[in-house]
Structure 1
Amino acid sequence: MQTTLKFTRKSAVEDTSGESDSYESDDKSDVESSVDTSAGHSGGVVTSSSSDDIVKDLPTCWSKKMWMNKKSLYPWLFCNDHKLGCSICKELPSLSIDAAKSIHLSHEWQSATVSACGKTKEKQLMSLRNKIRKHNKSKAHIKAQRIKLQASKEAIESGIATMNKSHLTATEKLFRIAYKIAKTGCPFTDLPVDCDIHMLNGVDIGRTLQSDKSCHKVCDHIGHEMRARICKVIIENGSKISVLIDEATSISKKSNLIVYIKTCFSDSLEPVTFYLDLIELPEQNAECIYTTLIQCLEVHGFTKELLSQRLIGFASDGASVMFGSHSGVAKRVQQSFPNVILWHCFNHRLELAVGDAVAEISGTNHFKILFDKLYHIYHSSAKNKRELEECCQELSEQFFTVGRVLDNRWVASSFRTVKVIWNLYYPLHCHLTKGSEDPSRNSSEKQTFKGLATKLASSSFVLNLATMYDCLEELSSLSLDLQERKITLPRAHALIFRAIRVFNSMVDYPGIKYKEIKCLVDEVGTERKFKGVLIQDNRKCDVVIPYGQLMRSLAANLEKRLVAFRGTENDLSRLINSITVLNPSNWPKECPLTYGGEEIKFMCDVFHLDDAVARRGFQEYIDNVRTEGLLEPPEKLVDLIKATKTIAVSTAECPPPQEFCPALYARSWKGSPSDNSKARARKRKVDEEHDYNIIWKKLKT
C-alpha cells in the first residue's frame, strides 16, 4: 500500500506540472479517497444534493468521497451507467458553439459516454482526471458556460420585466384616475371610491397608491413632469415666449400669482397658451410680485440670459401694481428686458370701456338696479325660484337662471342675463303678478312683486331691454373673440376696429331687437303686447336709455381704451402695421419683391431675429404666392411669423391640456421621493354604528 501511495503521488506531480492549485488538490483528494475505499465497495454512490442518495452509476474506480470532492470542484459533472457527462454541454441543443471559429461541443460529454481507461485503478483515476481537466479548460465548454450564464441572467431580467410591466400597467390606471380627479376639480378623497368601482368592474389596479394622500402626490408628480417636459421642449427648440400673469385669492384668503406661458412649438404655426405655475405671494407689492415671477421662471429653466433672447411679451390686467407707470411689475420687467412688449389685457380694457360708457349714460344705472332686484328675489329664495320654474313649465318655456348685469364678470355674462330676461319675459311677468296677489305673502313682498311687474310691463323697460340686448350682443361677441386661445395681435386689432365701426353705424341703423320694440311702442290706437304682456305707457319716474348716445359712447370708449396704447404707442402702432405686411390679403396687386423690407427689418429688431434671412424668406413668399399661388410661408420666414403670433394680447383664457398619457408619468414615478410606503396603502373606513348589510341583501334579491 505504501508503494502504491508513492507511485500515485509521483504521477500526480507529473500530470499537474504547470497546472493550478485546484488540480493539485484534486489529485491529492483522489489518492486520499482511494486509501479510504472500503473493501466491499462495488459500483459506487452518486449524490445530487443529499449525501444519503445512493446511485449505482459512479465509475468503478471512484468512491463516494471522491465523487463528492469532484462534484464540489466541477458542479457540471453527472454520472450515467458508470460513465461521466457534462450537464452544461448537454443542455445546449446544437453541437456547434461557434462555427466560424470551428468550436464544437464534445458528443461524448453531451451524451455521458466518457469512461475511464487503463487496467489498474491508478491509471483509471489518472485517465478520468485528465479528461475532466481537459474538458474543463476546453474552449467549447467555456463558451457553453458563458451561454448558460447569459441565459440565466436574461431569464431573471425577463421575469423582472414582466413583474414591472404588470405593476406599471396598474400604476398607469391609477394615474389616469388621479388625473381625472384633478382636472375635474374633484376632491382627492374620491380616489378610494373610484378605485372600488373599478375593482367591482373587474379592473386590476393593484393594491397600492389608493389613498387621498397618494392622489395628492400623484397629481403633484404629474404636474411637475408636464411642466418639465414642456419647458424642456421650449428651451431646446429656441421658441420665443410671452409671459402672462394674474393675481388671484385662494379659498384660504391668501394672495397667489398665476403664471402662464404663450409660445409656438416647432411643428405648428399656431400659438399655445398653457399654465406654468401657481405661487403664493408673501406680499402684494410690485417688487415682491416681480421677484417671485423671476424666481418661478428660473426654477423652470428660463434664466435671465435665456429670457433676454426669448422673452418678447408680457401681459397682465390693468391694476396699478401691475402696470404702474413708475414702479409697476411691467415697468420692472421692461427695465430688465428692454425689448419686451408690455400689453394690458384686451378683455380687461374692454370691461373698462364698457364701464366708462355705462357711467356716462343716464338710465343704465336704473336698468342695473332693476336687474339686481330680480337677481336678489330669485337667488335668495328657493321658493321664488321654484315657482318661476313651474311657471315656465306651464307655459312650455325653457327655464334659465336669472343673473346680474354689468357687474365684475365678463360682458358676455351680462349678455346671457339680458337674453334670459328676454326669453323668460312672459313667465317672469306672470310669476311677479301672481306673487303680488298671493295671500301667503306679507304686504311688503306683495308690493315688491307688484312694483317689479309694473316696471317690466312699462314701455321704458322693454326699450331699455332691447337697447342693452343689441349692444351687449356685439360686446359679448367681441369679448369671446378676444378670449380665443389662438388670438393674435393683428386679429385682435381688426376685431376691435370692426366693433367700433359697428357701434358707429348702429347710431343711424339700430339693431334688430331695438327696431322691433320701437315699432311696437310707437303704435297708436291698438293694444301693445310684447310676448303676451300688455305694455303700459311710461311713468314720470321711468328713464329711457338714449340709444344713439349709448352707441356713440361705446364706440368712443372702445377707441380710447383699446386703440390708444399706453407708453410707447408709436412703436406699438408701427409694430401692428408691420405685422399686417405678412398677410397676403394686404399686399398690392402688383407686389414687388422688395415690398415690406423696412417692416420686416423692424420686426426682426424687435424679436431678435436675423433680418437678412427673414427678408429673403419674405421675397420667396411673395414670389411663391404671385407665381404658384402657395400660401404656406417658406422655412426662412417661419420664425418671424411665430414670433408675431406669440405676443400675448389677452389673459382671459389659459386652457389646461386635453390629452393625457399616463405611461410617461408612471415610469418616472418609480423611484420618486413621493413613492413611500406610508402613502401607499389606503385604510378602509368601516361604519360600525350604521350597518346597512340587511338592506343591501334585500335589494339584491
Structure 2
Amino acid sequence: MALIGRISLDVVARPQEPTAKKRCLDEPQPDTLKRAKFSDEDYDANKRLRKFQESWKVTYPWVTHEAYDDDQKPGLMFCATCRAYPDLADKSSALYVGCSNMRVDPLKKHEFSSAHIKATNKKTKDTMTMKERSELATNSPIVKATKRCMQITMNILVVMFNTVYSLAKKCKPLSDFETHMELHVKNKKDIGGDYMDIGTNYHNEKRAKEFLMSIGEQLRVTKTRLIEKVRFLTVLADGSTDSSMTEQYTVLVRYVSEGYPVTTLASIEDIENANAFGVKNGIENGLNKIGITDSSKIVSVNFDGAAVMMGCKSGVSALMKEKNPRIVLIHCVAHKLELGVLDAVRSIDYLLKFEDIVKSIYKFYARSTKRRRDLQAFADILESELLHYGDVKTVRWVASKARALRAIQQNLFATLGHLEHAASANKTEESGKAKKLLHEMKSARFVKYLHLMMDYLEIITATSKKFQQNKLLIMEVPDIIKSTTDELTLMIEEPGHQTSTFYDHYDPETGDFTDHGDHVMKLSGQRLTTYEEDNDKTTLLKQTVKYLEVRFMDFNEKPLKCFDAFNLNKWPTNDTELVKHGRDDIKELTQHYIDILTDTEHSSMLREWTIMKNLLRKKKTGINCHDLYCELLQTQPADIQNILTLVNIMVSISPSTAECERQFSAMKLIKSCRR
C-alpha cells in the first residue's frame, strides 16, 4: 500500500506538459507546411536515367542491346535466341519486339517463359557436337530407363541362350530346356535377393530350337570370317545314315589357326544322289556355307576307302583333282589300318570262325538279363571280377575288339561254369546254344587264339589310337607304321605277355589250363604245338606286315614322300650330310605348289631351308615335331617365313577322318527318333 501510495503521489506531483494547440480545420496553414507542387516537366528533368547494364549479359547471355545515337535515350533490349527461332518465340513478348524498360525484372520474367525455353532448347541441340549429342542422349532419364530394361532383357536372354548351348554341347534333348527354365524360376523363389528373375516367357522347346538355330548361324558367320583369312586347308568328308535312314555326309575342314591345326565342321549335307557327282555336289554345298568358293585354297582331301569316294577314275577325289590338280588325295590312315588287319585275318580260316564265336558269346548274354544275373553269381562264387558283355554291335576289329576279348578272357572261367549249368537245363533252345558255345570255348585252340589275339590287337589298337589324334602330322605316319610292323615281326619269334601267360598255365600233356588262382579247366581238342611251331600265328603276323606295307605304299610316293624332309627323327647327325638333306624334296614340293606360292616364296625356299635346319638341329631332342613346327608357325621368325609356307601346308593336311566319325556320334545323339 505504501508503494501504491507513493506512485500515486508521484503522478499527482509531476508537473503537466503543455499540450499542443488544436488546429481548426478551417484555419489556414502556415507557408512552411504547404505541399510543393511539381509539374511533369520537372519530374522528367530531375528523374534518374536508367541504362543497359553490361553485367546482365553475363547472367542472361541471350540478351542483346541496341543503343541509340542519343545518349539520353536507353535504347532497346532484345532476346537473340527468340529472334533466331521466330516459329517458337512469343512474338508479342517485349523482348522479341524490343524492350526500352531497362530493368532486370523483364529479363527474369522472360527467361522462364515457355516460348523462350523452347527456343533455347532448340538452339542447344542445333549447336551441339556429336559427342555432346551422344552424352545428352545417354544421360537422359528415358534413355537410362530404356537401357536398364534392355539390360534386364538381355541378361534373361543370356541365361536362356547359355542353357540351350549347354544342352546342345552335351547332346541333350531340347525338351529338357523347359525343365531347366523351371529350375531357374524356382531358384528365384527359393533364393530371392540378387538371384535374377527370368520370368516365364519363351520357356518351351520351340523357342529353344530358335535359340539354337541362332547360335548355329552366329557360329557359322564367325567361322566364315576366320576361314576367309586361311590360306590353305584340307577337306574331310564321310557318309552315314541318320535316325530317319537319310544319307548324310559330314563335311569338315582342317586349317592352321594361330600356329596350330584346327579341324572344324563345315556342314552336314543331305545328298540327292549317292553317286560320285551327287556326293561331290553335297561337299561343295557344305563348303559354300562357310564361304569356301575358291578351290585353290584346298591342298588336300581325305576320305574313307569307299569306291564312290576314292575311285581312281570316277570317284569324288578324282573329280576334285580334275578341278584342282594340286590336291593331294589321302585315304584315311585309320581306315587303312583296319582294312590291312581284316585282309590278314581273312588269310586264317579259323580266325573267321573265332570272330563268330566271340559275337555269339556277346549275343547270348547281351539279350538276357537273367543270363547276366546267373553269370554274375558264378563270378561271385569264383571270387573274380566280371566285365560287362555289351551289345554285339560294339564288337568290331581293331580297337573295340581288344576290349571284347579282354572281357571274355577275364570272364572265361565264370562263363564256362554258367554255360555248363545252362547246357544241363530243361530249356531246349537255351541248352542247345549253351552246349555249342561251351564246346567251342573249351577247345584249346580257342583259348590259345584268345590270348594271341589280345597281344596282336594290343599293338594294332595302340597304332589306331595314334591315327585318331587330331594333332597327327602327315610325315609322322610312315614312322608309326614302321614301328607297328617291327613289333609284329618281333612277335613272330617272341610271344607277347598274354600268349606267354597261356603257355605258362597250359599243360599240353593233360590239357589242363589254370587261371591265376587255383581254378583248373580241362581243354579239349588236338594237342597244341609250341609257339615257335605255330604256323597260323606266323602266317597271321607276316600277312599283317605285308598288307600294311601295301596299304601304306602311297606314303613312299611324291608328293607325300617329300614331307619326310621335315621329320626331325630322320635328320642325319653329320653336319655335312645335314646340309644336303631334304633339298630335293623341298624342290619337289615347291614345284608341286608353284601356282599358290608367290615369287618371293619360290625363290627363297632352298636358302631358308638351310637356315631352318641350322635353327632346329639344336632343338630336335626332347620335343616332338608337332609342337616344334606349331611354335614356329605361331612365332613366324623373319628369316624363315617363306619356308614356313610349306610347313603350313604340311600341318594343314589331315591324315585321318576320325573327326568325321566323332561328328556322326554326336549327330546320332542329337538327331534321335524322339526329335
**What TM-score does the superposition give when structure 2 sets the normalisation length?**
0.72
Give the aligned partner of residue 252 of structure 2: 260
**Aligned AA (1:427):** A
Deviation at 1:619, TM superposition (A): 2.0
Tell me how far apart the structure 2 counterparts of residues 493 and 261 of structure 1 sit (CA, whole Å): 23
Give the aligned partner of residue 149 of structure 2: 163
Contact 2:88 2:118 in 1 (8 A): no
SS across alignment from 1:513: helix
Give the aligned partner of residue 66 of structure 2: none
Give the aligned partner of residue 279 of structure 1: 269
**Aligned AA (1:210):** H
Q: Is 1:246–2:252 an aligned residue pair?
A: no
Tell me how far apart the structure 2 counterparts of residues 320 and 622 of structure 1 sit (CA, whole Å): 41
**Aligned AA (1:621):** M
Of the candidates 496, 499, 504, which is equivalent to residue 481 of structure 2? 496
Deviation at 1:413, TM superposition (A): 0.8
Contact 1:457 1:533 in 2 (8 A): no
Give the aligned partner of residue 381 of structure 1: 368
Aligned alpha-carbon RMSD (Å): 4.0
Tell me how far apart the structure 1 counterparts of residues 212 and 276 of structure 2 sit (CA, whole Å): 31
Give the aligned partner of residue 113 of structure 2: 71
Q: Write the deviation string for residues 235-272 of structure 1: whole angstroms up to 9, x where unpaired.
A: 22x3310000011111111111110111111x22x322
Tell me how far apart the structure 1 counterparts of residues 158 and 79 of structure 2 sit (CA, whole Å): 64
SS across alignment from 1:28: coil
Tell me how far apart the structure 2 counterparts of residues 644 and 179 of structure 1 sit (CA, whole Å): 34
Equivalent positions of 1:551-700 (< 5 A) are 551-564=541-554, 570-572=557-559, 575-583=560-568, 586-591=571-576, 593=579, 595-607=581-593, 608-609=596-597, 610-625=601-616, 633=632, 634=637, 635-636=640-641, 637-654=643-660
Instruction: Give the 3 Å change call, closer, same or farther, for CA 464–403 of structure 1 in structure 2.
Output: farther
Give the aligned partner of residue 448 of structure 1: 433
Q: Is 1:364–2:357 an aligned residue pair?
A: no
Tell me how far apart the structure 2 counterparts of residues 655 and 354 of structure 1 sit (CA, whole Å): 19
Equivalent positions of 1:179-218 (< 5 A) are 179-202=165-188, 204=196, 205-218=198-211
Contact 2:300 2:329 in 1 (8 A): yes
**Aligned AA (1:547):** K
SS across alignment from 2:300: strand
Deviation at 1:434, TM superposition (A): 2.5
Sequence identity percentage: 22
Contact 1:264 1:642 in 2 (8 A): yes
Tell me how far apart the structure 1 counterparts of residues 445 and 455 of structure 2 sit (CA, whole Å): 16
Instruction: Give the 3 Å change call, closer, same or farther, for CA 162–409 of structure 1 in structure 2.
Output: farther
SS across alignment from 1:528: strand
Deviation at 1:287, TM superposition (A): 0.8
Deviation at 1:71, TM superposition (A): 2.4
Contact 1:405 1:418 in 2 (8 A): no
SS across alignment from 2:659: coil
Greater CA drift, 493-502 or 428-437: 428-437
Give the aligned partner of residue 225 of structure 1: 218
Contact 1:12 1:24 in 2 (8 A): no
Contact 1:256 1:279 in 2 (8 A): yes
Deviation at 1:459, TM superposition (A): 1.4
Tell me how far apart the structure 2 counterparts of residues 517 and 163 of structure 1 sit (CA, whole Å): 75
Give the aligned partner of residue 693 of structure 1: none
Tell me how far apart the structure 1 counterparts of residues 126 and 221 of structure 2 sit (CA, whole Å): 52
Q: Write the deviation string for residues 145-180 of structure 1: whole angstroms up to 9, x where unpaired.
A: x97994354334444433333322222222221112
Please list every run of 5 or more consecutive structure 2 residues that lacks an aligned counterpart in the other structure.
1-72, 97-103, 189-194, 622-627, 664-675
Contact 2:420 2:435 in 1 (8 A): yes
Instruction: Give the 3 Å change call, closer, same or farther, for CA 76–616 of structure 1 in structure 2.
Output: same
**Larger-Rg structure:** 2
Tell me how far apart the structure 2 counterparts of residues 603 and 445 of structure 1 sit (CA, whole Å): 64
**What TM-score does the superposition give when structure 1 sets the normalisation length?**
0.70
Tell me how far apart the structure 1 counterparts of residues 133 and 288 of structure 2 sit (CA, whole Å): 52
Deviation at 1:339, TM superposition (A): 0.4
SS across alignment from 2:471: coil
Contact 2:511 2:523 in 1 (8 A): no
Deviation at 1:284, TM superposition (A): 0.8
Instruction: Give the 3 Å change call, closer, same or farther, for CA 174–511 of structure 1 in structure 2.
Output: same
SS across alignment from 2:299: strand
Instruction: Give the 3 Å change call, closer, same or farther, for CA 594–436 of structure 1 in structure 2.
Output: closer
